[in-house]
Amino acid sequence: MISESKLERLDLSKYKKNIEKHEKKSLSEYRRDIETCFGTSCNFCEKDCQVYQLKKVKTYTSRGKNRTMLGLLEGKVGYSEELADLFYTCTLCASCDARCAFRNTHRFLEMRRELVRKGLGKKEHKAVVDTIVTKGDMLGDTRSPAKIFEEDINKARVHARYKVPMFVGCMYKSMPEELRKIISVLGRLGVALEFIDEKCCGYPVYALGYEKEFESVKKNFIASLGKNADKGILTVCPTCTAFLNEEHGINAVHAVELAADLVDDDETKKKIKKLDLKATYHDPCHLARGLGVTEPPRKLIRSLGIELVEMHANRLFSKCCGGGGGMLIRDRELSEEIAKRRLEQAREVSVDKLIVSCPTCDQNLTNASFAKKEKGQKRVKVLNIWNLLDDALEK
């Protein structure tokens, strides 16, 4: 365990966002909204829907799913395994919401809950849910990150002026190499991290529609936090960050926001070795659309001397990597196809390096970058923002 410290507790209150809490209504309570989509029928949602663009079958768009729900309410459509497939073939990336006045994804989450209530959840998903319920971690890793990374954390404290608790999340817990760099980089930027014996925040359980299971996961998560998050908590996974804010009402702050401020310091600027790179940045759905954090990562990237080239779809209209909503668990092939499309968008602006700030995007896009390419097609290299910071910051 980390010894008591005299470091000043970093105030995260300035990063607090006014985030809309997850809405929970029954399907029939959503009827008016579903009918409004039927009445409007603008179909703006299809443009950025990566699943639809690959499938080209209208049921997959947000309009199509809303229409299906109308069919259920009208008694014209029945529940089936295939209908469940439709609602699980969605990355919950919220690109449809960005082109709409409604939060369609909230309705889709209710649909998933309804499917689980009817025993139509997917077995691949249930296995993950059970792991989270029993182990408190998506991948079944019950070890305490505070213990595993104790040495790294203590090493990083040498440079620190501040301390702050951090919620790592299941994904980065499974990426120790990257996590070590995060600890080290933030330490070099003056912030010592305090890990806790954390339990999964429950997002996968919630997003897959397992409401009863979610209640127990939520209880464990809250208990594991103790008082650590009372004054806000630092995070590195955009999905956890958004979920901690939206569902748990915690001021969770993604570390790129903090780092973007820390590199502004004159002393720190002197310690940055400029990287001679031309790259693009991929906005993670939950960080950009979920939390509206689009400029800090760009500021951070530019501060490293990187020439940032924007893809056509960026910021709030960024396109999904294909890894969200449980897609990666059930349909790896489709997930990879979506990721390949995103990499193609980097090629379109003549860039072969893509920077990510999300562990899921990192894994999914990296895997896709190694997939078989068409003749003459160049590989787009996926770069984790923390690795770049690690390279650029004086050791």
Residues that bind another protein (CB under 8 A): 32, 35-44, 46-47, 56-59, 63-64, 67-68, 70-71, 74, 76-78, 80, 82-83, 86, 97-103, 289, 316-317
Q: How far is the CB of 169 from another protein (least distance, A)?
A: 25
Residue entry with tokens 């310091």: 265
Question: What would the DSSP string read from start to end of 62-127?
Answer: HHHHHHHHHHHHHTSS---HHHHHHHHS-----HHHHTSSS-HHHHHHHHHHHHHHTT---HHHHH
Kindly state the tokens that stand for 322: 């294909």
CB-wise, 5 or 28, nearer to another protein? 28
Whose Cβ is closer to another protein: residue 41's or residue 134's? 41
**Nearest to residue 323, comparing CAs of 341, 335, 312?**
335
Nearer to another protein, 63 or 180 (CB): 63
For the chain, the maximum distance between any two Cα atoms, rounded to a whole number of angstroms, is: 67
Q: Could you tell me the CA-to-CA distances from 180 to 147, 170, 193 in Å, in that order?
A: 13, 15, 11
- Rounded to a whole number of angstroms, the minimum distance from the CB of residue 107 to another protein is 13
Q: Are 255 and 184 in contact (CB under 8 A)?
A: no
How many CB atoms within 10 Å of residue 372? 6
Measured from the CB atom, is 43 or 216 closer to another protein?
A: 43
Helix axis angle, 255-262 to 176-188, nearest 10°: 30
- State how far the Cα of 33 lies from the Cα of 104, in Å rounded to an integer: 9
We find the least distance from the C-beta atom of residue 292 to another protein, in angstroms, to be 9
CB of 314 to another protein, least distance (A): 12
Residue among 2 and 316 whose Cβ is closer to another protein: 316
- Residue 248, phi-psi category: left (phi > 0), alpha (psi -120 to 50), beta (remainder): alpha
CB of 71 to another protein, least distance (A): 4
Which CB, 76 or 395, lies closer to another protein?
76
Q: Rg (Cα) of the chain, in Å, rounded?
A: 21
Single-letter amino acid, residue 70: L
Beta bridge partners of 384: 356
Smaller CB separation from another protein, 112 or 188:
112
- Minimum CB distance to another protein, residue 177 (Å): 35
Nearer to another protein, 232 or 290 (CB): 290
CB of 373 to another protein, least distance (A): 20
Cβ nearer to another protein, comparing 74 with 177? 74
**Least distance from C-beta 76 to another protein, angstroms?**
6
Cα–Cα nearest to 186, from 214, 216, 165: 165
- Three-state DSSP class for residue 125: helix
Q: Which residue has 């499917």 as its token pair? A: 115
Q: What is the DSSP string of 139-168?
A: T---S-HHHHTHHHHHHHGGG-SEEEEEE-
**Least distance (Å) between residue 69 CB and another protein:** 9
